[in-house]
Structure 1
């Protein structure tokens, strides 16, 4: 917690028991959920509306329904509105034991707060992230999202970061466009491309049967993405980005995908880009400005 946050809490300390509404959003991961956040909430005994957006790092357990009931909700008898997104990242003691989405879902037994969903992701052999959130989803930002997108429409999300050690396939991007219809800022971190051929040597991801449209996308960050994904988004036969104005990408990947700024299939999705961000500041050659006619000089 920052020094400013601690001072603020000291100032309002005497008013905590009388609060009716409280909202806390923290995009950075932190430790001490029980020692800091829960202890603070215990003082808000007359709270009626509570909103939490948290990413908790470490701790001996992930946050689930029973934890929220026993540590928070039972202390707030007048609470009628609880909007939350809580991601808990933990080191797994026994990698052979896997917790599923259904396992987490069954921990929500409180009838008043049963409209919830969850996502459980495993990274490496010993790390998991368990996300629980109320429905409908009310927040505009999601980070470190993997292939494991539930069948939910996130109408409020405009800022999304994708990250996975498994490749993103065409069907994933179809679900992505449907699940996040108002997406404005997208970041993709994945250096693994899908396998192009199956066991029978048949072309696998030729499944680009239709163009995927991202009608509101204005910013796309693929600096840490395989050039395969740069191709997926800039090629107009695969994706349509009518309002893309900011592109962050490796210059080498951009050269390859655009065939050194001559390829027609990638020209339209680049036409409205006003800000092109590459890994090192460079003086762009004339071909770049011809290919990106809206680019600020």
Structure 2
């Protein structure tokens, strides 16, 4: 046999399995099942033993994908229906896949691009899928795709989506609702609704966006008695109202994660009292930005006000950002002083950064490492020697000038950055050594750049291809006059490449509809 004449079937099973593990389970099934070859069919069955099928990549409007779906629906699913435990679907494939066969072991479903229309159609009384949802599904993941501007009434939306889910999925144990954007306004708001709203005694895991701290307190007022894990992201009102909530002990709660992206104050007693109900907590995650303080929130404060009430706690992941307004910064502790308060408590993997966002306003950021969150605001000119592997949104803000070396280091520290906002106006520019050779800062995933509150030299750094590489930039927010100056009235060659893929340009002044302008922005 010719040394190059080797077919797939000549490979040993171990090598074939290595190849199959690189493929999506649906691709494996489509390629190797029902092709009248016992060895390949056996290997394919072994590969999909996890029982997970992902149909998100299928496009029903494509003739090729329709053929693939027909084969799955008519030939493949009926032959493996007893093995399927987990399905990942888009709304337009729910009925097609779920009605193709009987799935006795299906307990988990993830619905991508989920919306209110989908909930009304499939979760209603007349839905042909109601039996599956009501009796079999114990684990539900919804990736919300609704747009805020299309929703006429938040209360109606909550009844049609959130409440309907719990009415239909009566055996639900795990519920994860993922917003379509950071702190979507389409979040759960329970104020004014009956006390039995969003009640389910079987639920042990809940991950959800809520409107305010009140809504978090409602979820913990006894309506979800078996809840062991609560991951809650609060999107709007910073503090709870004067409503009296049930503040009983939470004996079943083992894991609690709380994210406040907006600034809060610690004047509201309900916030700190919440943690005193969690004496059996084992894992705590906090993302807090705290304003109106006269001193930094440090390890000593967290120990006395929160951690002291959790004797079983063994994992504490946090990002605590404190905003202090002062006239005399000399009397405030240094970043080393703040970090020492965490070390004294046994929290050794902690980083503390202090920076000024105005002459009077100081920001102190303290966080555990590795950094576990995807969102940072008011990050200063000091970059610690760590990699922020999860951060996709970053706002940098300081009264100190951000030089070119800073952005090179920023690109290294934030490799997955998608959104960057630069806030720095009127700072004294650093004198650069023009003879020094600089690397090009590369932001391969950056899609949105906001330079509305940044001086023009920053815009020049980002748009100049000899200084920055922005292959994915599609949205740009700028002061129009800065853009005109930096691009030399849209004639500068060095700024064309980083502008070439921009599809959305946000400016306050009318655009110049010239030939040179469209050479810079051909997709506008």
Query: TM-score with structure 2 length normalisation?
Result: 0.52
Query: Residue 520 of structure 2 aligns with which residue?
Result: 291
Conservation of the 8 A alpha-carbon contact between 2:391 and 2:414: yes
Matched residue SS, 2:308: helix
Taking the aligned partners of 2:219 and 2:315, their CA distance within structure 1 comes to 26
Partner of 2:503: 274
Q: Taking structure 1 as reference, are residues 125 and 239 closer, same or farther at Cα in structure 2, changes over 3 Å only?
A: closer
Matched residue, 2:331: 97
How many pairs are equivalent?
288
| Secondary structure, counterpart of 1:32 in structure 2 | coil
1:26 to 243, 253, 260: 260
CA contact (8 A) 2:280 2:313 kept: yes
Q: Which has the larger radius of gyration?
A: 2
Counterpart residue number, 1:17: 250
State the secondary structure of the residue aligned to 1:107.
Answer: helix
Contact 2:401 2:430 in 1 (8 A): no
Give the match for residue 54 of structure 1.
288
Instruction: Name the counterpart of 2:444.
Output: 215
Q: Does the alignment pair 1:232 with 2:440?
A: no
Aligned to 2:484: 255
Q: For the Cα contact (< 8 Å) 2:359–2:399, is it kept in 1? A: no
- Residue 374 of structure 2 contacts residue 393 of structure 2 at CA under 8 Å; is this kept in 1? yes
The counterpart of 2:345, out of the listed 107, 110, 118, is 110
- Preserved CA contact (<8 Å) 1:223 1:279: no
Cα drift, residue 128 of structure 1: 1.8
- Is the CA contact 2:356–2:398 (under 8 Å) kept in the aligned structure 1? no
Measure, in 1, the Cα distance between the counterparts of 2:384 and 2:268. 28
Offset of residue 208 of structure 1: 5.4
Does the alignment pair 1:132 with 2:366?
A: yes
List alignment gaps of at least 5 residues for structure 1: 198-202
Change (3 A) 1:204 1:61: same
Cα drift, residue 82 of structure 1: 1.2
Of Structure 1 and Structure 2, the greater helix share is in: 2
Give CA deviations for 1:212-260 in whole Å, capped at 9, x if unaligned: 1111111111111111011100001111111111111111111111111
Q: In terms of mean alpha carbon deviation, does 281-290 or 53-62 score higher?
A: 281-290
Instruction: Say yes or no: does 1:184 pair with 2:184.
Output: no
- Distance verdict in 2 for CA 1:123–1:52, change over 3 Å: same
**Unpaired segments ≥5 residues, structure 2:** 1-188, 192-210, 226-248
How far the C-alpha of 1:207 sits from its partner, in A, is: 4.3
> Could you tell which deviates more after superposition, 177-186 or 94-103?
94-103
- Displacement, 1:7? 4.2
TM-aligned CA distance change 1:122 to 1:248, over 3 Å: closer
* SS at 1:118 equivalent: strand
When structure 1 is superposed on structure 2, of 228-237 and 160-169 the one drifting more is: 160-169
For residues 523 and 327 of structure 2, the distance between their equivalents in structure 1, rounded to whole angstroms, comes to 53
Structure 1 residue 125: deviation in Å?
4.6
Alignment CA distance shift 1:99-1:8 (3 Å): closer
The 3-state SS of whatever aligns with 1:13 is coil
Quick one: structure 1 residues 196 and 85, their matched pair in 2 at CA, closer, same or farther if it must change by over 3 Å?
Answer: closer
Q: How far 1:282 moved relative to its partner?
A: 4.6
Whether the 8 Å contact between 1:50 and 1:81 is mirrored in structure 2 is yes
